[in-house]
Chains A and B, each alone.
Chain A
């Protein structure tokens, strides 16, 4: 049985760069997420501290993690798209 992809993808010179970039972004987010879990586990009362707009640390950190995921995602995509254009532009017939 053929194990190839459902749609054949061309060679991507940027794949190694994107892979490393993804790993860096993943580690950054993991560190911030770990901080969130650690505070919730070890010092849950710290989450009561008022931050801004009348919101406490629990809500600000929670919303922050969600918004950070979106922002990092967009940033990652911009860097990847730019790398794909830069590294694949001289390849013939390359589809990203």
Chain B
């Protein structure tokens, strides 16, 4: 799709960047010691910290990824929202207060508070770096993808801009500036998402989403033995027919332009329904619906096939309430666009064909996760594994955990977590409306679902689009800042000072922290450019899985099992982290990326949680039992 940079969006973006840099410079003067740099002095008010939690946690994957997923696969995308939020319950009831009580700057402090073990210090730091990197890459990739439509700049420029701003934020005032950037961003995200949903409900649902929406046509056809032999529109000529995974597709030619159509039955007759397609020739030139990109033949999509309101078929609903909005979609039929890829001669073809889908199916699990028709034991296990990782991953994410050290007391840590749950929970409810709104408002770019929420905002005017896009950009800045502070703390505090016993003064630690932040930032920029095009949600799923397997068993058992030993914690972090990474690297998704068939993967599991989390727990228990101190009473 072609995106035209909006001048208002550019101005807003520049204003936002100047404001962020101003905040960072202001706090830089107050940040002179390690406590100020790594933990914002431990003086942040719990209310501010709670919203900053939301700003930290609601990353590009939450805002762009989930809305896009709901817009394309319905309720299955919302399952991510539920899993991400449920994880906060673990953080509140199990982790918040004890972690605040035991730690100083990093979660390794808390794990190591009883033992003073070099093994724990090193493994916890490595785990922090691995999880932070898994989380950083998709944020940087997302930044590049966002800056292209927003400012009309290439992907790599977007990554460099984000990386540079974040390095400035973190290198000037560390956690203090990061906290306020996250607080502002979290607040803006929730307020403007609420406004967007309010406007959506006020508009209601319409079979024709807008005046400019492309009218997809159908042509009656004569079909014999699955082959299309003639069509009722003489201006088109039949060129080729392909059968792809049970889908019959026909290529038609009109005025030298080739387009793809899907054969389907409508009542008693066969028809060809118009599809979207891209054609890439061996030289790499790409055609959109058979024409060059600037011919604008590649349309935004997403509409209702039919609307059922109160048992009556209507063309549009008018203003609706929030529950009524969902209920109408449940009772109606939505036209989704399904993707197939194949070769036509030497050309690579991607077709998005219309698939009218019952609202009942859209609003229950099964379109993305194979838990219903066509499911297998492994596909169900994959789903359970993902939900497990989301539940236990949140409370083990290093950039979330370090925020507990920015408030004055354990009770403030608890209260700020409740504010975070309320703010994040409310936002995740909004994602269902934004996603379904994008699904039915004719704004979707079939090539990139990540732009669903900003494009829905564009439906209501350029101003809202510019604001939402600038906030989406800020979303990346807030999360990346938190991740870089976490990684910087792991390098300086856990590895250099604790593990390597390098003696650093307070100011020396701050200086080393700033240098580490710049190094991590540069690495993140390089990886963000290298991983261009990689699925954002996929990588975030890795981060959750690794965090849940490596860190959660150690935190949980340290708090609730008196026989836990340093060796048990060290080994469980190692086993949890390596087993999760190993399963990911041999997963069907990765095997496909290596260029082999997904079915050749040794283990049909894409989400490692179901194996690596119990494995990490078992390791901790066994090793702890084998390394119990003899004749020494274990102090709790």
- Chain A interfacial positions (CB closer than 8 Å to B): 1-7, 9, 12, 15, 18-19, 22-23, 25-26, 29-30, 33, 36-37, 40-42, 44-45, 47-48, 53-56, 58-59, 62-63, 65-67, 69-70, 72-74, 76-77, 80-81, 84, 95-96
* Contacting residues, chain B, for A69 (C-beta < 8 A): 85-86, 88-89, 421, 425
Interface stretch, picked from B5-13, B109-117, B472-480, is: B109-117
Shortest beta-carbon distance from A50 to chain B in Å: 8
Question: Is the beta-carbon distance between A15 and B429 smaller than 8 angstroms?
Answer: no
Question: Is the beta-carbon distance between A40 and B408 smaller than 8 angstroms?
Answer: no
Question: Is the beta-carbon distance between A19 and B409 smaller than 8 angstroms?
Answer: no
Most buried by B among A19, A55, A73, A80: A73
* Contacting residues, chain B, for A3 (C-beta < 8 A): 103-104, 109, 112-113, 116, 498
Shortest beta-carbon distance from A83 to chain B in Å: 10
Interface stretch, picked from B322-330, B344-352, B526-534, is: B322-330
Shortest beta-carbon distance from B595 to chain A in Å: 32
* Contacting residues, chain B, for A63 (C-beta < 8 A): 429
Shortest beta-carbon distance from A54 to chain B in Å: 3
Q: Which residue of A lies closest to B418 (CB)?
A: A73
Question: Is the beta-carbon distance between B97 and A73 smaller than 8 angstroms?
Answer: no
Knowing A26-B93, A62-B78, the reply to whether A12 touches B88 (Cβ < 8 A) is no
Knowing A3-B116, A5-B101, A56-B364, the reply to whether A67 touches B425 (Cβ < 8 A) is yes
Question: Is the beta-carbon distance between A19 and B98 smaller than 8 angstroms?
Answer: yes
Question: Is the beta-carbon distance between A40 and B35 smaller than 8 angstroms?
Answer: no
Question: Is the beta-carbon distance between A41 and B364 smaller than 8 angstroms?
Answer: no
* Contacting residues, chain B, for A41 (C-beta < 8 A): 371, 380, 383-384
Shortest beta-carbon distance from A86 to chain B in Å: 14
Question: Is the beta-carbon distance between B418 and A5 smaller than 8 angstroms?
Answer: no
List 8 extra interface pairs beyond A48-B363, A65-B85, A95-B409, CB under 8 A.
A3-B112, A5-B42, A15-B101, A19-B98, A40-B369, A56-B360, A70-B425, A76-B93
* Contacting residues, chain B, for A26 (C-beta < 8 A): 89-90, 93-94
Knowing A2-B104, A9-B101, A62-B82, the reply to whether A73 touches B364 (Cβ < 8 A) is no
Question: Is the beta-carbon distance between B391 and A33 smaller than 8 angstroms?
Answer: yes
Complex: A23 Cα to B98 Cα, angstroms: 12
Knowing A6-B405, A33-B391, the reply to whether A25 touches B93 (Cβ < 8 A) is yes
Complex: A35 Cα to B89 Cα, angstroms: 16
Complex: A74 Cα to B408 Cα, angstroms: 20
Question: Is the beta-carbon distance between A45 and B330 smaller than 8 angstroms?
Answer: no
Complex A-B: 29 CB contacts under 8 Å: A3-B104, A3-B112, A3-B498, A5-B102, A9-B101, A9-B410, A23-B94, A29-B89, A40-B365, A41-B380, A41-B383, A41-B384, A47-B75, A47-B365, A48-B363, A54-B330, A58-B365, A59-B330, A59-B363, A59-B432, A62-B79, A65-B86, A70-B421, A70-B425, A73-B89, A73-B418, A76-B92, A76-B93, A96-B411
* Contacting residues, chain A, for B369 (C-beta < 8 A): 40
* Contacting residues, chain A, for B414 (C-beta < 8 A): 76-77, 80
What's the dominant secondary structure at chain A's contact region?
helix
* Contacting residues, chain A, for B417 (C-beta < 8 A): 73
Question: Is the beta-carbon distance between B421 and A73 smaller than 8 angstroms?
Answer: yes
Shortest beta-carbon distance from B545 to chain A in Å: 16
Q: Does B17 touch A at the CB level, under 8 Å?
A: no
Shortest beta-carbon distance from A79 to chain B in Å: 11
Shortest beta-carbon distance from B377 to chain A in Å: 11
Complex: A3 Cα to B330 Cα, angstroms: 54
Q: Does B560 touch A at the CB level, under 8 Å?
A: yes
* Contacting residues, chain B, for A84 (C-beta < 8 A): 411
Complex: A45 Cα to B358 Cα, angstroms: 13
Q: Which residue of B lies closest to A84 (CB)?
A: B411
Q: Does B100 touch A at the CB level, under 8 Å?
A: yes
Shortest beta-carbon distance from B34 to chain A in Å: 9
* Contacting residues, chain A, for B188 (C-beta < 8 A): none
Type the 1/0 row for B27-48, where 1 means its CB is closer than 8 Å to any CB of A: 0000000010011011100000
* Contacting residues, chain B, for A81 (C-beta < 8 A): 411
- Ranked nearest first, the 6 interchain pairs of A and B with the lowest CB-CB distance are A54-B327, A7-B42, A22-B93, A26-B93, A47-B364, A6-B42
Question: Is the beta-carbon distance between B560 and A23 smaller than 8 angstroms?
Answer: yes
Complex: A22 Cα to B43 Cα, angstroms: 25
* Contacting residues, chain A, for B104 (C-beta < 8 A): 2-6
Complex: A16 Cα to B38 Cα, angstroms: 29
Question: Is the beta-carbon distance between B408 and A7 smaller than 8 angstroms?
Answer: yes
Question: Is the beta-carbon distance between B364 and A45 smaller than 8 angstroms?
Answer: yes
Question: Is the beta-carbon distance between A6 and B105 smaller than 8 angstroms?
Answer: yes
Complex: A30 Cα to B92 Cα, angstroms: 13
Complex: A54 Cα to B429 Cα, angstroms: 17
Complex: A77 Cα to B411 Cα, angstroms: 9
Complex: A17 Cα to B518 Cα, angstroms: 43
* Contacting residues, chain A, for B380 (C-beta < 8 A): 41-42
Q: Which residue of B lies closest to A33 (CB)?
A: B86
Shortest beta-carbon distance from B207 to chain A in Å: 20
Q: Does B221 touch A at the CB level, under 8 Å?
A: no
Q: Which residue of A lies closest to B427 (CB)?
A: A66
Complex: A72 Cα to B90 Cα, angstroms: 12
Question: Is the beta-carbon distance between B82 and A66 smaller than 8 angstroms?
Answer: yes
Q: Does B1 touch A at the CB level, under 8 Å?
A: no
Type the 1/0 row for B386-419, where 1 means its CB is closer than 8 Å to any CB of A: 0100010000000000000100111100110110
Q: Does B331 touch A at the CB level, under 8 Å?
A: yes
Knowing A3-B109, A3-B116, A55-B330, the reply to whether A66 touches B364 (Cβ < 8 A) is no
Complex: A36 Cα to B360 Cα, angstroms: 18
Shortest beta-carbon distance from B74 to chain A in Å: 10
Knowing A7-B42, A55-B326, A56-B364, the reply to whether A40 touches B409 (Cβ < 8 A) is no
* Contacting residues, chain B, for A15 (C-beta < 8 A): 97-98, 101, 410
Knowing A23-B94, A65-B82, the reply to whether A44 touches B366 (Cβ < 8 A) is yes
